Amino acid sequence: MLLNAARSHLMVIDMQARLMPAILDADQIVPRVRTLLAAAQRLGIPTTVTEQYPKGLGPTVPAILEALPRDPVVLPKTAFSAAGDAATMERVAALRGEGRDQAVLCGAESHVCVLQTALGLRSAGLNVFVVADAVSSRASQSVSAACARLLHAGCHWVTTEMVVFEWLEKAGTDDFRALSALIR
């Protein structure tokens, strides 16, 4: 199944100030998430940002906040799974009512909040795409374990480039010219 911009919803999971310094390859993850945010904004794809217990883990890192649209939807949560949070699921349900049945997930940590959110959304009937090069954990084994479990559960394991080019569908457009420059 290919991603489709009109059916997609981007979710940035828990990329927070006190967590990201401990995340493996965070310096590579943040720019990829920014690329996904730029593509989503350009193509009119709604974005939801979650924050796990922001009182303890702090707000979303500035590099991500700066890349959000003017009126971002940032939802605090205490459940590890965003699918276990009522406000997040109200938003998911509203977007699903508009035909957005593809959830594209990026963020931290792969084996906890991203995994639990993906499995919860999958159980709720959404098509779930986890962006492999835009998720991470404190240890590489945790990322590998999350990948195996997500694939076994029927989620899709994709890359930033796969997402952007599937959303674009074709070359030769103004959107392609603007977004392909972010990939190079």
Model confidence at 100, pLDDT cuts 50, 70, 90, reads very high
Q: Is 147 labeled as catalytic in the residue annotation?
A: no
Of 77, 85, 101, 147, the active-site residue reads 77
In angstroms, the CA 119 to CA 59 distance is 24
Q: For the chain, what percent of residues have pLDDT higher than 90? A: 96
Per residue in 106-153, pLDDT (tens digit) is 999 999 999 999 999 999 999 999 999 999 999 999 999 999 999 999
Per-residue pLDDT at 184:
75
Domains recognised in the chain with CATH numbers:
5-183 (3.40.50.850)
Of 14, 85, 101, 175, the active-site residue reads 14
In angstroms, the CA 116 to CA 84 distance is 9
Q: Is 113 labeled as catalytic in the residue annotation?
A: yes
- pTM for the complete prediction? 0.97
Of 113, 133, 147, 175, the active-site residue reads 113
Q: Is 77 labeled as catalytic in the residue annotation?
A: yes
Per residue in 31-63, pLDDT (tens digit) is 999 999 999 999 999 999 999 999 999 999 999
In angstroms, the CA 175 to CA 108 distance is 28
